[in-house]
Amino acid sequence: MTAADAEPVKTSTADEVGVRYEQAGPVATVTLCRPDVLNAQTPAMWSELSNISRKLPGDVRVVIVRAEGRAFSAGLDLSVAKGDGDSSLARLAQLSAADCADRIAGFQAAFTWLRSPSIVSIAAVQGHAIGAGFQLALNCDMRVLADDARFSMAEVTLGLVPDLGGTKRLTELVGPSRALEICVTGRRIPADEADRIGLATAVVPRTDLDDAVADLTAAVLSGDANAVAEIKGLLAGASGRSYAEQDRAEREAQTRRLAELLGSGE
């Protein structure tokens, strides 16, 4: 059974804050739903994303992150960032260094759960994915792009730095020199370049985006769930290990798999 064939069994909505959650069997879909403002992100949306991560059922194996309308996300909602609310930039600047860092850590949690070894996360990206939008896609394990997709790490244009968990993944994907160029220029990266430099898992015509994501989801689900989780953990930690350490991690992971599959249970 493919993801497209699965019957929806659980749905909860939070359209009022701009994030919708749906679950069909082992597939959860998180949808940004503020298309009238190009899915510009707010702290309320980040709070809802964090809530979803805490409530995610254990039987979910794939999380798809998508967006309504013509853009994935235009980034931080500047009307909120430049306003006078508790999470505005001005209010954050008034906090102590420790309190400000703690507040940002809370924002980061809305993104970083997508790296969890227990799930495979897939971003379906159309149109612009700017700043926080780019970092949301980067925190996903794979990124399927429509041919009109455009990435940009635009924080520098506000005098800020990327702080939502995207810099390490970006560096791992494209290397430190290219990552620096992308971050300090804030330039737009078209889908074909994203594919060429390793930011995209696949690039497809806009009309084929949903089908391509469904096919990739079905392929992930066809693998043993525990094996997939072990593989994700192995690869996620590889860049921080020496060859000898990675060899050991492989041995240990395979030992666990053999014990689970073929062990006597003693």
pLDDT tens, 90-146? 889 999 999 999 999 999 999 999 999 999 999 999 999 999 999 999 999 999 999
Return d(Cα 261, Cα 227) in angstroms, integer: 10
- Residue 20's contacts (CB-CB under 8 Å, 6 or more residues apart) are 13, 14, 30, 31, 33
Averaged pLDDT score across all residues of the chain: 92
The answer, yes or no, to whether residue 13 has pLDDT greater than 60, is no
Write the DSSP symbol of residue 7.
P
Place 264 in a pLDDT band, splitting at 50, 70 and 90: low
Query: For residue 245, what pLDDT is reported?
Result: 95
Query: For residue 1, what pLDDT is reported?
Result: 44
**Mean pLDDT calculated for residue range 202-220:** 98
Q: State how far the alpha carbon of 31 is from the alpha carbons of 15, 34, 126, 204, in Å.
A: 9, 9, 13, 20
Return d(Cα 228, Cα 222) in angstroms, integer: 10
Q: Which helix (H) or strand (E) holds 10?
A: strand 10-14
